[in-house]
Amino acid sequence: MPILLGEFYAGLTKKLGSALEARRLIKRHFDIDWAEIVSNPGKILSASTALETDLQRRLNGEPLSRIEGVKEFRGLEFALGPDTLDPRPETEILVDWALELFHGKHPGRILDLGTGTGCIPICLLTEWKDTRGLATDIAPGALDIARRNAETHKVADRLEFSQTDWGQGIEGRFDLIVSNPPYIPESDIGILQKEVRNHDPILALSGGFDGIEAYEKIFSSLSRLLKPAGKALFEIGAGQEADIERLAGKYRIRIKGVRPDYAGITRVVEISNGDN
């Protein structure tokens, strides 16, 4: 029995509960875009075992970005891997704020701690053509993916990579330090959406008992790594602002400003050395 494009699209949308995801799967497996779905609903399709496999993976809770192997971030596509976090729209706030802080100027050297896909430094380097960067991660698989993304977006000649635990072993000082560390308390991991808890790497999610273990490690070396007039931006979890401020005081650095996410929750903090 022939499979008609329009009927197939309608059925797929019903199963997924999302017209957008149905269009993405049809594009992925048949190279048919939305315009053709609308203009040629009677087009006959061949059965696709690969699409049925992807559909079942999605119905089982795997994010479509994981199935496709890529995620869009600030208009660029980033390859994903088992050791990388699926980039979130909230992290774009950090990138946008970094660009604002330098008012069109290009910082000489930037550092991204726990880079994952490399989406933060890569987006910055595509804007700052004279800037060089260092991206670190403890997971070698994440660094492999980040290197591939740097090559894809033509910044590999200006972005170095290092496998290290946060600030350990890093030499030199930086004009800008950025990071989206894991900040979910261990007790909250089990209540995350299954798309997150079952498919994002635990190293990129769990911030330890209280959610701030990574910040403790980062802040302990921040004065050494950040230039006196340098800037640092960190993504934080909901309700963590007071804990972050306490840690900043402990290591004689200070919060200069905060920025909310799209839900009005404090999501990014700016930190400086001392009184700068």
**DSSP readout, 70-100?**
EEEETTEEEE--TTS----HHHHHHHHHHHH
pLDDT computed for residue 1 by the predictor: 60
* Predicted local confidence at residue 243, as pLDDT: 93
The DSSP output letter for 114 is: S
pLDDT of residue 89: 93
Q: Which residue has the tokens 């660029």?
A: 76
CATH dotted code for 69-273? 3.40.50.150
What pLDDT score does 113 carry?
98
DSSP string, 223-262: HHHEEEEEEEEEE--TT-HHHHHHHHHHTTEEEEEEEE-T
Distance CA(64)–CA(126), nearest Å, equals 26
Those residues with Cβ within 8 angstroms of residue 231's Cβ, 6 or more apart along the chain or in another chain: 98, 101, 102, 175, 176, 177, 270, 272
**Measured CA angle at 179 (ends 174, 180), to 5 deg:** 175
Domain residue limits, the chain: 3-60, 69-273
pLDDT of residue 152: 98
97-150 residue pLDDT tens: 999 999 878 999 999 999 999 999 999 999 999 999 999 999 999 999 999 999
Residue 257's CB: how many other CB atoms inside 10 A? 12
Cβ-contact 4, 43 below 8 angstroms:
yes
Q: What is the pLDDT of residue 189?
A: 85
Global pTM value: 0.91
The rounded Cα 12 to chain-centroid distance in angstroms is 28
Reduce the DSSP state of residue 274 to 3 states and report it.
Answer: coil
| Alpha helices, H only, 76-171 | 89-101, 119-127, 140-152
pLDDT digits (tens, 9 = 90+) for 210-262: 889 999 999 999 999 999 999 999 999 999 999 999 999 999 888 999 999 99
**Helix or strand or coil: residue 165?**
coil
Instruction: Return the ∠ at Cα 92 (arms to 97 and 54), rounded to 5°.
Output: 175
Helix (H, G, I), strand (E, B) or coil at 25: helix
CA atoms within 13 A on the CB side of 94: 29
Contact 73, 92 (CB under 8 A): yes
The whole-number pLDDT of residue 171 equals: 92
